[in-house]
Amino acid sequence: MPHQSDSPDVATLLAAVRAEVQARRQALHSATSAMTQSALELQLQRHAEQLEITRVISAHWPLESRSPYERAINLINKVVRRTLRWYINPIVEQQNAFNDVAARALRLQIEAYTELRAQLAELDRHTPLDGEPPPPMATPFIAAALSHQDEQLPPTTIPATEELQQLVEQRGRTEPPTGFADRQLRPLVAQLGIHQQVNAHWPLVGHNPIAHAAALSQRLMRRYLRWLINPIVEQQNAFNTALTETVATLLAADVELRFRLARHRASQARRQASS
């Protein structure tokens, strides 16, 4: 497995990546300035950019030095980091592989949402939605009441409960099956929010003098290595936050598309019933 080189230009490379993302964003904005975009589309674009910015994690963050003493300490830290790269780098590379796949999958989902929304917009232009009419079973009653205000409605115009049940069952059989995926996803989004933050400082305790001494030495070692571990954890947390926000926004976009498709189905059913 290849290892990352101990290069001091990691921050420069990441800054170049962020600058490229911003340039693409400006180019995309100028290319689509004439198009009407929804708030969800703009939000998804920002999430896609944030995923691209945060998906790469570096285990070799630059160590800044402002004095000869700090330079000496950082020289020791670099030697330690190079010594531990057999342990740290494979973990970071595996996490980067996962981040890359997750970011690519979410970008494809965003592109699919944008494409479906464009298709719905085209459908709206060719088949405008009807206004919301009164419920079908209430229409005869309203018409009869307007034309015969002084007369009592004949009991034969009121459908029986069994007929209503049959109509409901017939309409239900014509509706497409649904598993309410958005309701199943909402608890998972909440779980993502709970588990998105990685903590490198969990409690280390001991229940006897020997275990207490071992825990104390581990805490001291962890405190020393925080210059190496903390930047990795913070970078991963930034990507996890971007991933959680993207999934939540995609869920809202899915609800919007489902609602618009349901309106089109209802409008089409009304036109078929009236024809």
* Residue ranges of the chain with per-residue pLDDT less than 50: 1-8, 31-35, 132-154, 156, 158
**Cβ partners under 8 Å of residue 130, min gap 6:** 267, 270, 271
Distance CA 147, CA 99 (A): 67
Task: List strand residue ranges (DSSP E) for the chain, in order.
Answer: none
CA triple 249-255-259, angle to 5 deg: 145
Q: Look at residue 24 in the predicted model and tell me its pLDDT.
A: 65
Q: Look at residue 18 in the predicted model and tell me its pLDDT.
A: 61
CA 234 to chain centroid:
19
> Could you state, in order of their start, the residue ranges of all structural domains in the chain?
10-132+182-274
Q: Look at residue 166 in the predicted model and tell me its pLDDT.
A: 73
Q: Look at residue 148 in the predicted model and tell me its pLDDT.
A: 45
Sign of CA dihedral 134, 139, 141, 147: positive
Q: Look at residue 34 in the predicted model and tell me its pLDDT.
A: 37
Cα distances (Å, whole numbers) of residue 177 to 18, 171, 174, 183: 44, 12, 9, 15
